[in-house]
Amino acid sequence: DPRFAVTHWAAQSMDWDHWLVDGFSAYMAFLPMEKEALVLRKIPERLATRVPRAVRTGREALPALADMLDRDAAHSAAEHGVPTRGGKLQYWADLLWMVYWSHLEGNGKAERLRSYLKVRDAEGGGKARAVLLDGKTQEEVQGEMAAAWKKMGLRLRFSQPASAAADGKAAEK
């Protein structure tokens, strides 16, 4: 989709974090068009009907929020060629998170996301992440996001963060 590519390039040129570049690009490509204008109404409802069944029913776990936020910001649109199975899950996670923070979180006006961007531009990533998490653990924020999507018929499940999986393997040895 050209909208994904153009948005990806523009967002990447702003030196946004990888998850934000990909999430915003997927969001812009997802938005329906009517008479050459983007349609912003009923976005969560439209997306809920298009999520693959395996993700919608919780059979496939989305990547953990911790892993999404830790992705490297240095990447290129070329990485988005042929999606792998994990890549497809990452795509859906990015899109679901972007729609959540834009339409479902708080009063639905993307206030936390806007605050995150302001702090990130002014003070950097660490303090911005604290704004995004709003004083909660990443697991609590995942729970809030899953609860918001559950109202639309999705039963989202998240994988364990890579750091937790690595800690578990280290403990086994």
Summarised one tens digit per residue, pLDDT across range 18-44 is 888 888 888 888 888 888 777 777 899
Read off the DSSP letter of residue 136: S
DSSP percent split of the chain into helix, strand, coil, nearest 5:
65, 5, 30
* Beta-carbon count within 10 A of 98 CB: 24
Please give the share of the chain, as a percent, with pLDDT higher than 90: 43
Q: Mind listing the pLDDT tens digit for each residue in 102-157?
A: 999 988 889 999 999 899 888 877 788 899 899 999 999 999 999 999 999 999 99
Q: Which amino acid is at 47?
A: L
Classify 158 as helix, strand or coil: strand
CA–CA gap between residue 160 and residue 100 (Å, rounded): 20
Identify whether the C-beta of residue 36 lies closer than 8 Å to the C-beta of residue 135: no
Structural domain total, the chain = 1
| Helix-helix angle 138-150:125-133, to 10 degrees | 50
Domain holding 116, by residue range, is: 2-172
pTM score: 0.81
Tokens of 147: 């609860």
- Note the helical H segments in the chain: 2-13, 18-30, 43-50, 53-56, 65-70, 85-99, 111-123, 125-133, 138-150, 162-172
Task: Output the six-digit token pair for 4.
Answer: 């994904």
